[in-house]
Structure 1
Amino acid sequence: MTRCIGISVRPVIELSKNAAQRMIPQKWGRIINIGSVFGEGAPLPGVTMYIATKFAVHGFTRGLSRELGVVEITVNGVQPGPIVTEMSPENAPHSEVMKKLTSLGCYGRVEEVASAVASLALPESAYINGETLTVDGGWNA
């Protein structure tokens, strides 16, 4: 349990804290936390602690948005679904199950997650605060 929190929650809190300390004097900034589609629900058994940590990231993002919004720092999140990475290859034993949980029937690409992050960082996104953009191929549809 402690290891899961140390990997999934503590870094988000520490990085957000460090970023906020640099942004507060400027009264402007964007903090974008990366969570997981598991921060929205529990679609599979056997990953309870992982799910709990992703809910924690989601809640932390919303709470921090309230605290930093007053100094024009927005805090948002991106929750990827199944994405092709070195740790999660498209041909892994569990990949067919994961693909079936999306309405598109496939894994996403890292570039699609990066695009969501980049859009939240734009000056034109200044009124988006405390939100989590889900990039999941229709997992939560």
Structure 2
Amino acid sequence: MLEEIMSKNIYAGAVLNGRVALVTGGSNGIGAAIAKRLSADGATVALTDIAPPDDAAKVVRAIESAGGKARAIQADVRDADAVTNAVKETVASFGRLDILVNAAGVFVAKPLEEFSVDDFQWLVDVHVKSIFVAIKEAVKHLGEGGRIINIGSINSDYVPYSGGVLYALTKAAVVGLTKALSRDLGPRGITINNVKPGPTNTDMNPADDPAAPSILDRTAVKRFASPEEIAEFVAFIAGPKSGFITGANLSIDGGYTA
């Protein structure tokens, strides 16, 4: 449905017209769906990813073919300088920044004894450090009505499987970061929220994975979300009608934690 809407360009020039968004991890999965959805609402979009340039280029082409404007910036979010430069390049390219979506993410699950310190640092760098660095640079440019949206995980609340200690730990850190920064940013007219998806059909968590049936059993709706459904929720939080929502950790999980 979202692809059909975008092909007709129904939303172009609508509620996010004139605004510029940066989406980290925007070349696939939830991040790509968010980049497309924000563009469909009228935003100019920069997207970053460590993935091969072809992946990001496909997202840019999809946005441009629907009448939008986008740019891909290749950056490893583990590298603080790369994250900082991505924000600067976005502003240099489009003249401003209004929306930051921190969507870059990785997943690993294994027994505690098999985790290394390098594993710990990897997840912290991707899920925590990159968000902090991106926000620190972005707030230099965000003004009244600015939006920061972190893509966390329902596993920050509920971990019904073994081996997820580092994933849950780092996603829980985003919960605290979001709450605390709402106090710093609120007086400046900038909102910050954490969207926590439940099971979502992406390359990182495919709905046809052998473990999928056990995951489905824990949802109320007995299915995975599509990335586009998560993107719809993010688009509302990014929009002008969400100005009284900040410091919130918002679940979109099909009843996974009900």
Contact 2:145 2:243 in 1 (8 A): no
- Work out which of the residue numbers 125, 128, 132 in structure 2 matches 1:6: 125
**Which portions of structure 1, spanning 4 or more consecutive aligned residues, are displaced by more than 2 angstroms?**
none
**What residue identity is the alignment partner of 1:125?**
S
- Work out which of the residue numbers 27, 42, 45 in structure 1 matches 2:144: 27
Q: If each structure's helix is expressed as a fraction of its own residues, which one has the higher value?
A: 1
Structure 1 residue matching 2:141: 3-state secondary structure: helix
* In structure 1, distance between residues paired with 2:133 and 2:199: 25
Give the total of aligned pairs: 139
Residue 37 (str. 1) matches residue 133 (str. 2) = no
- Work out which of the residue numbers 216, 227, 242 in structure 2 matches 1:110: 227
Contact 2:145 2:240 in 1 (8 A): no
Structure 2 residue matching 1:9: 3-state secondary structure: helix
Gaps of 5+ in 1: none
Structure 2 residue matching 1:22: 3-state secondary structure: coil
> Looking at CA atoms only, which structure, 1 or 2, has the larger radius of gyration?
2
When normalised by structure 2's length, the TM-score is 0.52
Aligned to 2:182: 65
Q: Cα RMSD (Å) of the superposition?
A: 1.2
* In structure 1, distance between residues paired with 2:121 and 2:203: 25
Contact 1:116 1:133 in 2 (8 A): no
**What residue identity is the alignment partner of 1:129?**
T
**What residue identity is the alignment partner of 2:135?**
S
The C-alpha deviation readout for 1:73-103, integer Å capped at 9, x for no partner, is 0000100011011222111121111111111
Query: Whose relative contact order is higher, 1 or 2, with alpha carbons under 8 Å and at least 6 apart?
Result: 1
Contact 1:8 1:53 in 2 (8 A): yes
Larger CA deviation: 82-91 vs 51-60 = 82-91
When normalised by structure 1's length, the TM-score is 0.93
Aligned to 1:140: 257
Gaps of 5+ in 2: 1-119
Shift of 1:123: 1.2
Shift of 1:27: 3.2
* In structure 1, distance between residues paired with 2:228 and 2:127: 21
